[in-house]
Amino acid sequence: MRVFTLQVLYMLLTGAPIVCAQTPIPSTKTAAAVEWPAYGNDAGGSRFSPLNQVNSQNVSKLKVAWTFQTGELKLYEGTNVMKQAAFEATPVMVGGILYFSTPSNRVFALNAATGKEHWVFDPQVNLRSGYSEVTSRGVSIWPGNDKHDQRIFIATIDGRLIALDALTGRPVVSFGTGGTVDLSEGIGSRISVTSAPAIIGNTIVVGSAMGDNQRFDYPRGTVRAYDVITGVLKWGWDPIPRDSMDAAWSTWKGPKAHQAGAANAWATISADAARDLVFVPTSCPSPDYYGGERLGQNLYGNSIVALRASTGKLVWYYQVVHHDLWDYDIAAQPILTDIVKNGQPVPAVIVGTKMGHVFVLHRETGKPLFPVEERPVAASDVPGETAWPTQPFPVLPAPLGIQSVGVKDAWGPTPQAKEEAQKRIAQYTNKGTFTPPSYKGSLITPGNVGGIHWGGMCVDPQQRLLITNINLLPAIIRMVPRDQLHEFEDKETKVVRGENGLQRGTPYVMNRDYLFKVDEKGIIMQTTPPWGTLVAIDLNNGRKKWEVPLGYQLDPQQYPGAEKWGSLNLGGAIVTAGNLIFVAATRDGHLRAFNSRTGAELWKYLLPAGGQATPMSYSVNGKQYVVIAAGGHGKFSTKMGDYVVAFALE
């Protein structure tokens, strides 16, 4: 039983954030420590660990070292959050202490060797308020200096940026107002943040997340930078040009085009301190699937944008989708690494996309380091819409995932199920990647969950390998005239199948579905497997080195061969110097280890709940640990929980 102090009782009565301080954190580091100080390990998101104590020769001996439970599920009682919440956090580790956030934005500090709790901070997010996403992918650490101690930053789903003292977990009252900056200021409405902010020097850069299918005029997707010590706003950058003097202004056509919203950066932002650059991955302007109110190329939406970290000034941009009609946000953190060209290292930024396109660009100029072609794509037949006539296609690396689908690609576990899939596919239009939405219904390949999704990529700088897990799931998108939605109702249930985006301010409602069906046995896919894979690309030449199925989602006992069919997946992979890739993400609930040289699966462990998070690795006291958050994903319908699990050799 926990005994409340007067301070905690006061916070409960007044609604102030709650900090439960326990054991003080030791401030000394062991000489044998190898840390993981940022969401992607480094500010450039490599997700590479130089540790090799656990390696391809001994990974089969990996065992659970400790398990910690956050108590998160108790907070969901009496709310509808269980269907939305996703424990997607990747912990960070500095000074022997593990820091991570839960879907409700509580922040925990644990002993990295034992899993013992030091403190927990609760910002008291109102879980009965509606959020597009109930998740937090992690926290950020500012290392401190002689005058200021180390700080932990959490950006919340209710639009706050909070600075915490790393030793105690208490808000740093000199930051913002009592430790908090209100991110809704200057935006005009509440926004959410689901990814860890980027820290570069004494600057913290934060984007935002929005559910951008319900109306045309969403809030601005402004990226902002704050002073890490004071919380004072340093600069803001809007991905939708509002100044007619901006060169991108003319790429937005129509009387209301510049009133569009979103194009926000909800994925993790990368930073290059030596070059004073931050790399911002932007998303689709609102709404996702109809651009008739925002005709034109729509710069700087769907772009990787390099900004001067000290000023927020635009340095360069590269647009990966022109006039997005497919919800093709850049969801993955850009990776900063070096590419060898003509025997010399070249600074690069690698951008993975939902289309399965991988763009390798010069970090200082944005120019492609591998060939990219502008190719003609299908036109739209939706009245009021004009699809952009061409799109950029990387020649190398070649596109990943499912790029087109036809009746020949239909699949089912029985002849009857396959015939049903064939008939369903035949109803819709697919002219390859970038087939525009239509009234009839278009098969979008890949769908809006990838290709490469928010789980992102990792890079092994020693083997010069780029590694990513992908989904192979077509989406079905229909543009329904607002007054004709009833025509798409099921004749018996009167329910419109799939998900509707109201797209207020436009003539159409968006209806989204996917090429699978759900029955008593689970999700039955309607396209030929695999449905999820793990891929390695050789960065020396841009060519695929290997690709293997990732996990399974049908029971191999009922469906022989299912273990080779792969699984839809959410969550990313990491790679280590031990020639290992660690990834969970799949619907079968396992954390797996693969040989990074060959793609062979070497080890797996059934987690206590869904592993829709990216793992991480570190060492303390000479021992290497691999850690993952296992809490499931409400929308992905995996087993819910509240676990953090650490593995080490016996």
Category of 632 on φ-ψ map: left (φ > 0), alpha (ψ -120 to 50) or beta: left
Buried b (16+ CB within 10 A) or exposed e, 226-253: bebbebeebbebbbbbeeeebebbebbb
Is 327 annotated as catalytic?
A: yes
Report the phi/psi class of residue 146: left, alpha or beta, with left for phi > 0 and alpha for psi in -120 to 50. alpha
| Catalytic entry in 165, 272, 327, 642 | 327
Q: Which two tokens stand for residue 319?
A: 């647009």
Q: How far apart are CA 204 and CA 199, in angstroms?
A: 4
What token pair was written down for 173?
């009252």
What SS3 class is residue 262? strand
One-character DSSP codes across 96-134: TEEEEE-TT--EEEEETTT--EEEEEE----TTS--S-E
User: CB 414: neighbour CB atoms within 10 A?
Assistant: 9
Cβ atoms of 240 and 260 closer than 8 Å: yes
Upstream peptide bond of 397 is cis (omega within 30 degrees of 0): yes
Name the CA dihedral angle for 352, 355, 356, 360, rounded to a multiple of 10 degrees: -40
Token pair for 572: 């990313």
Buried b (16+ CB within 10 A) or exposed e, 544-562: ebbebbbbbbbeeeeeeeb
The helix or strand, by DSSP H or E, that contains position 419, with its residue range, turns out to be helix 415-426
Size of the chain in residues: 650
Using CA atoms, how far residue 87 sits from 149, 211, 457, 591, in Å, is 29, 19, 19, 15
354, with CB counted inside 10 A (0-12, 13-18, 19+), is buried
| Neighbouring C-alpha atoms within 13 Å toward the C-beta of 318 | 27
| Catalytic machinery residues | 327
